[in-house]
Amino acid sequence: TRFAPSPTGYMHVGNLRTALFAYLVAKSNNGRFLLRIEDTDQERQVEGAVEIIYKTLKETGLQWDEGPDIGGPVGPYIQSQRMGMFKKYAEQLVESGHAYYCFCDKERLDEVRKVQEASGMAPRYDGHCRNLSKEEVAEKLAAGIPYVIRQKVPTEGTVTFHDEVYGDVTVECSTLDDQILIKGDGMPTYNFANVVDDHTMGITHVIRGNEYLSSAPKYNLLYEAFGWEVPTYVHCSPVMRDQHNKMSKRHGDPSYEDLIAQGYLSEAVVNYVALLGWAPGGEREIYSLPELVEAFDIKGISKSPAIFDIDKLKYFNSAYIRAMTPEQFAAVAAPYIRQTVKNPTIDPAQIAPLLQQRCEVLTDIPEKVDFFDALPEYDIALYTNKKSKTDPAVSLEMLKTVRPLLAELPAWDDETLLAAMKDLAERLEVKNAKVMWPVRIAVSGRAVTPGGAVEICRILGRDETLRRIDAGIAKLEG
């Protein structure tokens, strides 16, 4: 199989799914996965886009077996470097009667199009140069008249091709246009270069979006004209934003890069994208890439459009976060913790365990932990908590009682801190929460925090904890 992107920008979700399915088809059949860069549309090319393609495929684990950077037996793997070969293949088709030289200029083609549109006909080439004699062609070539080479599509009968998703598809030849194979500048069109490249590179399975279904009959006619074996086609339904609209960067839908920037894990994105329009059978949803290879079957690809659901991706992402080892999570969480916790004395690895069960995406982290760096402004109304049976007056009393105990603790760890607060609650014959709630508010200024009073005090350290409790007492005394 091959993934053959155009370097025109970021990798959108539909592109990534095509690459993933091509990879899975190859690997599940012990085959090879090729990367080919289709850069013939120079006008739309974006600087740095090839690097984005490499980076995305590497991050997602879709390692190619042959490609521009690593080479292989059927290179070059960049289409613009293969230009010399296409003209001779087109000329071969002219010789065999499956293509012809067309000398129509832009003015004539525009005129034909206007007449067709006025008559309510679909715009298409009218075959004006289709039956020129060899002598006429030779004369025009000798005169240096500009030309293109067009495919000579049969005017009668039908073309049938088989697709693994859509089954047998038959179209009337009369509905097909004589498409251009070689443009006026000698460059191949996308449709022609694709067929020649896929054959010469030994591609056996072509995986692409179903927007190419309408071009497949013309591809088939080209394969047959050359006497080449037609590859297995797998056309995938589009990835949609909703029932009516395809995903589109123009409408603000996220690319792969955007999703990573929004705090999604690459593995979770790959897992979710694999299930957009493909079902493994059974209830299971969480698969690593090697497990996807093991489970993948083309028969599971659906004709129905797949709806991209960000909430569903969030669910996958949180499952992946929870499944990480504490060390793995600490490593990915650290940069996000450091966005708001700048204090060098606080180690992100101490905060990370409080977050692993409490965040769906990594970008949730910075605002959850910013209070570690500096105590935010807060209202004394936070000290009122029905469950803990606290209010500002009760909280003031509790803070004044607990403060000297914390100051004298022989050690500063979870066990010692917890024991001190529980012992105090027992002595005062109140529930633990009546002591811990005021401490938590005083040290965090938040009603909702990752971790409770004990963990927050331990991470802040004795001096900062006592300083914040003193500030809380002062605030409550007003």
For the annotated catalytic residues, the residue numbers are: 249
51-62 per-residue burial string, b: 16 or more CB within 10 A, e: under 16: ebbbebbeebeb
Identify whether the C-beta of residue 215 lies closer than 8 Å to the C-beta of residue 233. no
- Amino acid 2 reads R
Identify whether the C-beta of residue 270 lies closer than 8 Å to the C-beta of residue 57. no
Identify whether the C-beta of residue 238 lies closer than 8 Å to the C-beta of residue 210. yes
Give the position of tokens 């938040």: 446
Side-by-side strand order, sheet with 158-163: 167-172, 158-163, 232-236, 205-209
User: At CA 39, angle to CA 34 and CA 42, rounded to 5?
Assistant: 175
Using CA atoms, how far apart are residues 338 and 348, in angstroms rounded to an integer?
A: 7
Using CA atoms, how far apart are residues 327 and 280, in angstroms rounded to an integer?
A: 31
Give the position of tokens 């091509």: 22
C-beta neighbour count of 390 within 10 angstroms? 24
Using CA atoms, how far apart are residues 81 and 83, in angstroms rounded to an integer?
A: 6
Question: What is the chain's Cα-based Rg?
Answer: 33
Q: What are residue 170's DSSP bridge partners?
A: 160
Identify whether the C-beta of residue 471 lies closer than 8 Å to the C-beta of residue 375. yes
- Amino acid 104 reads C
- Amino acid 75 reads G
